[in-house]
Amino acid sequence: MFNRLLLLCCLLAGCFAQAQAEEYPARTIKIIVGFGAGGVADSTARIIAQKLSENLGKGVIVENMPSAGGIIAAATVAKAPADGYTLYIVSNQNAVSPALMKSLPYDPVGDFAMISTIGFFDLVMVTDSTSPLKTVADVQKAAKKDTSHFNIGTIGIGSTQHLSAELFKSLANLEVPTVPFKGTGDVIAALRSGTVQIGFETLPGVMAQIKGGTLRALAVTSEKRVAALPQVPTLAESGLPSYRAASWNGLAAPGKTPREIIMRLNKEVAKALAAPDTRKRLQDIGIEAKGSTPEAFKTMLESEIVKWRAVVERAKIEKQ
């Protein structure tokens, strides 16, 4: 009798989940971003939200929740109802946080249902356009010649930019300071004033300055050259063959969101990313549109957590 009741409950639960998926979405969907307006994650979310709204016929809004390196936003989504109406922009920072924090108020993998990656974007080593530094070899030579007057600028400690700089220093055997700033604008100002000699920043964050001629790109962190800057070599080409760092973002939902809804959203994200106007808007800010299956996204996140934990340990960054 008990087994029959259990089977009946399972069947009813399955029917309910199927019904939810068939009528989804019935109201406005919210995408939470753990960073401020105007950043890469925010821009990505708004581009995708607009296309999803057009295709689904329901409003898709973006809510910025910039606090504690995205931890507050992640915790909020992890505890949200698992009904597909609260989504989350997952970024490389979600892979870094487990290595930086003594504890997190959520499981970075288990508390989320991955939907799809959205885009990948590289980082770039830049200097002021008037700097005598023209190549990575020039950087290494200058940094080793005068360690007390050579600084590397990035945004905050533990950011992908900061860890990419630490990875560079480790592979290039450099002992120079990395100076953390609050935001990309501060890094650019420091480069322009000569406070720092080089900076590591996401390509979307400084593409306008590179194109405008105020900053010089010395190398990109990707495995191959970037289509938008074909003349700029990779760090691997520039004498550090094992160097590889990139950033990315994707879409996730609370962990217990029904599979049917996850797959519906996966299908819609794939459709949005296939649209020429969406791809162009992302490409214009330096993002390569690239979706995935939920399973592939989860596997990638797990591997990124392992990778950045090793970088943090190598750089001896104290956990907070």
pTM, whole model, 2 decimals? 0.79
pLDDT of residue 269: 98
Each residue's pLDDT tens digit, 59-101? 999 999 987 778 899 999 999 999 999 999 999 889 999 988 8
pLDDT of residue 249: 94
Same fold, 11-17+25-121+246-315 and 122-220: yes
Residue-wise DSSP of the chain = -HHHHHHHHHHHHHHHHHHHHHH--SS-EEEEESS-TTSHHHHHHHHHHHHHHHHHSS-EEEEE---GGGHHHHHHHHTS-SSSSEEEEEEHHHHHHHHH-S--SS-TTTTEEEEEEEEEEEEEEEEETT-S--SHHHHHHHHHH-GGG--EEEESTTSHHHHHHHHHHHHHT----EEEESSHHHHHHHHHHTSSSEEEEEHHHHHHHHHHTSEEEEEE-SSS--TT-TTSPBTTTTT-TT---EEEEEEEEETT--HHHHHHHHHHHHHHHHSHHHHHHHHHTT-EE----HHHHHHHHHHHHHHHHHHHHHHTPPP-
The residue extents of the domains of the chain are 11-17+25-121+246-315, 122-220
Q: Which CATH class is domain 122-220?
A: alpha beta
Return phi, psi of residue 227, to 5°. -60, -35
Each residue's pLDDT tens digit, 175-210? 999 998 878 889 999 999 999 999 999 888 898 899
Q: Which CATH class is domain 11-17+25-121+246-315?
A: alpha beta
pLDDT of residue 158: 79
pLDDT per residue rounded down to tens, the chain (320 residues)? 545 655 555 555 554 555 556 789 999 999 999 887 877 888 899 999 999 999 999 999 999 998 777 889 999 999 999 999 999 999 988 999 998 888 999 999 999 999 999 999 889 999 999 999 999 999 999 999 988 899 999 987 778 888 899 989 989 999 999 998 878 889 999 999 999 999 999 888 898 899 999 999 999 998 889 888 899 999 999 999 989 888 899 999 999 999 999 999 999 999 999 999 999 999 888 888 999 999 999 999 999 999 888 878 877 777 87
pLDDT of residue 21: 63
pLDDT of residue 89: 97
